[in-house]
Amino acid sequence: MAVEPDARRRAHQWRSDLYARTPERDAPFTTISGHEIEPLYTDEDLEGFDYAERLGHPGEFPFTRGIYPSMYRGRLWTMRQFAGFGTVEETNERFRYLLEHGQTGLSTAFDMPSLMGLDSDHPRSAGEVGVEGVALDTVDDMQTLFAGIPLDEVTVSMTINAPAAIVLAFYVVAASENGISAERLGGTIQTDILKEYIAQKEWCFPIDPAMRLCTDMLEWCAAEMPRWHPISISGYHIREAGSTAAQELAFTLKDGLTYVEQALARGLDVDAFAPRLSFFFNAHIDFFEEIAKYRAARRIWAREMRDTFGATDERSQMMRFHTQTAGVSLTAQQPQVNIVRTAIEALAGVLGGTQSLHTNSYDEALALPTADAVRIALRTQQVIAHESGVTNTADPLGGSYFVEKLTDELEAQAYDYFRRIDELGGMVEAVKTGFPQREIADAAFTYQREVDRGERIVVGVNDYRTAGDELTELHAPTPPPRPASASAWRAPGPTETRPASTPASPSCGRPPRATPT
């Protein structure tokens, strides 16, 4: 984009003459990640901008404006609420409730023992069975979990990583016993073990054999489950752990590129498996930063798949992703305000071009969501889809000086992280040295310090506080009998083997829940 001298002169004159005489509020004019924001963006900020190279039309390389030509004019995103608690019978009931109220896909939350590959009756499962997700131990449990649900018609997402191969085997067997073959199953299993070492900390094996197992799954699913996404490369948990938007973007994409490298080293053809890779991003509260993050992600992925890995199939170059609103942004104080936060975050996901969306319930900072809270969360998506008008045109923010500049800046930050990770020997070696973990910890500390000092306002937490805002209606599954308590423990590092006597980690990378009184 060429900038006329008169336009440049007018922009500078506006800033030095008119804007300079206007006092600014005492507030940080940065994104939530700390990125400085200018008071005005003009065509000068996009000097040299090449539309075909940087944007293209929707459905065209580099897919910045969306991966499908018609976007939501052709098909709305999948409304996929995350659900799972207590027994498989309880969760099956919640699944049916969501489908009856208009949800179009299922997303399964497992409890901590299941995530760690432990049976519910294992001593180390004490106090965690069915608490923050559904307890699943056997093929029979899997059959009950999805009883009465047409698995060849409803896509299913399963958020589980370390024991993902076993859980997927359960799912395939359960479906086959109901006459549904593997090739007819559509959905996703997360399997993103790199993210576990970086952020969520739920793993069963050292990093090298875990990576081999991920590649095994990728290879098998590419041949046997053509509608299935065997890895959902997740930035969500990286962001929940406290990362910036640029760190979420960079570490997530580098994880994905690492899985591609591992598969190619196995001898797989890139176009045989890459179309089935999917992504999972956070939708945080900083509206425009999130939109720019999604746009940059699509552009980087398309370029790397085509130019670095030689993918010729356009489907290999398209980044498909699920979005979940930010659990870490929810507050126990004035919890109804979380409805507003979730709506803003969901709108960012939609304007960023997501293929699938989960909206958090307003009471999730306190307990498992009630049915009423879940319904409001789902209705939030439906209002955006059918009442807001934002689905009427593909990429309505495309061409915005601010959005395009922010997209470019996030892309540049991601490539800088790529360079630093490559200097450490790649993502696996970077994880072993703790590089992404330290970057995230530093970012989380910086943000929390700003909140604690009152430099960044969180409504109801450090400003605009009122008394008597507690929720009285909270949902929680009936806790099972508590077996003998386990001894104290220390989580092993990503290159260590977890000793048989070591209890499972109580940390799951989700925001801490307040204890209801």
CATH of the domain at 344: 3.20.20.240
The pLDDT value recorded for residue 213 is 95
487 confidence band (pLDDT: 50, 70, 90)? very low
Give the other-Cβ count within 10 Å of 416's Cβ: 12
Q: Which whole number is the average pLDDT over 487-493?
A: 38
Residue 494 has pLDDT above 60, yes or no: no
The answer to whether 8 touches 56, Cβ cutoff 8 Å, is no
Q: Which whole number is the average pLDDT over 218-236?
A: 96
Nearest alpha-carbon partner for 294 in 248, 259, 256, 257: 248
Whether residue 426 is contained in a domain is answered as yes
The helix-helix angle for 401-423 and 287-303 (nearest 10°) equals 60
**Tens of pLDDT, residues 64-114:** 999 999 999 999 999 988 889 899 999 999 999 989 988 888 989 999 999
Whether residue 67 is contained in a domain is answered as yes
Q: Is pLDDT larger for residue 73 or for residue 8?
A: 73
Whether residue 23 is contained in a domain is answered as no
Nearest alpha-carbon partner for 334 in 451, 513, 471, 454: 471
| Separation CA 171–CA 156 (nearest Å) | 10
Q: How would DSSP label each residue in 161-194?
A: -TTHHHHHHHHHHHHHTTT--GGG--EEE---HH
Residue 199 has pLDDT above 70, yes or no: yes
Whether residue 109 is contained in a domain is answered as no
468: left (phi over 0), alpha (psi -120 to 50) or beta: left
CB burial string 202-231: b at 16+ within 10 A, e below? bbbbbbeebbebbbebbbbbbeebeebbbb
Residue 25 has pLDDT above 60, yes or no: yes
| Separation CA 325–CA 364 (nearest Å) | 12
Give the other-Cβ count within 10 Å of 78's Cβ: 20
| Separation CA 440–CA 516 (nearest Å) | 29
**Which region among 44-58, 64-78, 138-152 has the lowest average model confidence (pLDDT)?**
44-58
Give how many domains the chain has, as a whole number.
Answer: 1
Q: What is the pTM of this model?
A: 0.88
DSSP assignment letter at 25 = P
Residues across the chain: 517
Token duo for residue 227: 């509608």
Q: Which whole number is the average pLDDT over 333-352?
A: 97
H or E segment and range at residue 380? helix 371-386
The pLDDT value recorded for residue 475 is 67
The pLDDT value recorded for residue 119 is 95
The answer to whether 499 touches 487, Cβ cutoff 8 Å, is no
Burial of 125 (0-12, 13-18, 19+ CB in 10 A): buried
DSSP assignment letter at 20 = G
| Separation CA 214–CA 54 (nearest Å) | 33
The torsion angles phi and psi of 222, rounded to 5 degrees, stand at -60, -30
Q: Which whole number is the average pLDDT over 386-399?
A: 97
Domain span at residue 332 reads: 51-79+190-452
Whether residue 389 is contained in a domain is answered as yes
Residue 498 has pLDDT above 70, yes or no: no
Residue at token pair 């989960």:
358
The pLDDT value recorded for residue 3 is 64
**Tens of pLDDT, residues 415-433:** 999 999 999 999 999 999 9
Whether residue 123 is contained in a domain is answered as no
| Separation CA 260–CA 101 (nearest Å) | 38
Mean pLDDT of the chain: 90
Burial of 52 (0-12, 13-18, 19+ CB in 10 A): exposed
**Tens of pLDDT, residues 155-178:** 999 999 999 999 999 999 999 999
Token duo for residue 12: 């500078």
CA angle 83, 326, 511 (to 5 degrees): 75
| Percent of the chain that is helix, strand, coil (3-state, to 5) | 45, 10, 45
The pLDDT value recorded for residue 496 is 46
Residue 482 has pLDDT above 80, yes or no: no
The answer to whether 377 touches 16, Cβ cutoff 8 Å, is no
SS3 for 407-423, per residue? HHHHHHHHHHHHHHHHH
| Separation CA 340–CA 177 (nearest Å) | 44
The torsion angles phi and psi of 283, rounded to 5 degrees, stand at -115, 95
The torsion angles phi and psi of 129, rounded to 5 degrees, stand at -70, 120
| Separation CA 64–CA 407 (nearest Å) | 9
Residue 278 has pLDDT above 90, yes or no: yes
DSSP assignment letter at 268 = -
The pLDDT value recorded for residue 118 is 96
Whether residue 435 is contained in a domain is answered as yes
Token duo for residue 79: 């409304």
User: How large a percentage of the chain has pLDDT more than 90?
Assistant: 79
Give the other-Cβ count within 10 Å of 288's Cβ: 18
The answer to whether 32 touches 326, Cβ cutoff 8 Å, is no
The pLDDT value recorded for residue 372 is 93
Whether residue 439 is contained in a domain is answered as yes
Q: Which whole number is the average pLDDT over 279-283?
A: 97
The pLDDT value recorded for residue 7 is 74
**Which region among 69-83, 144-158, 311-325, 503-517 has the lowest average model confidence (pLDDT)?**
503-517
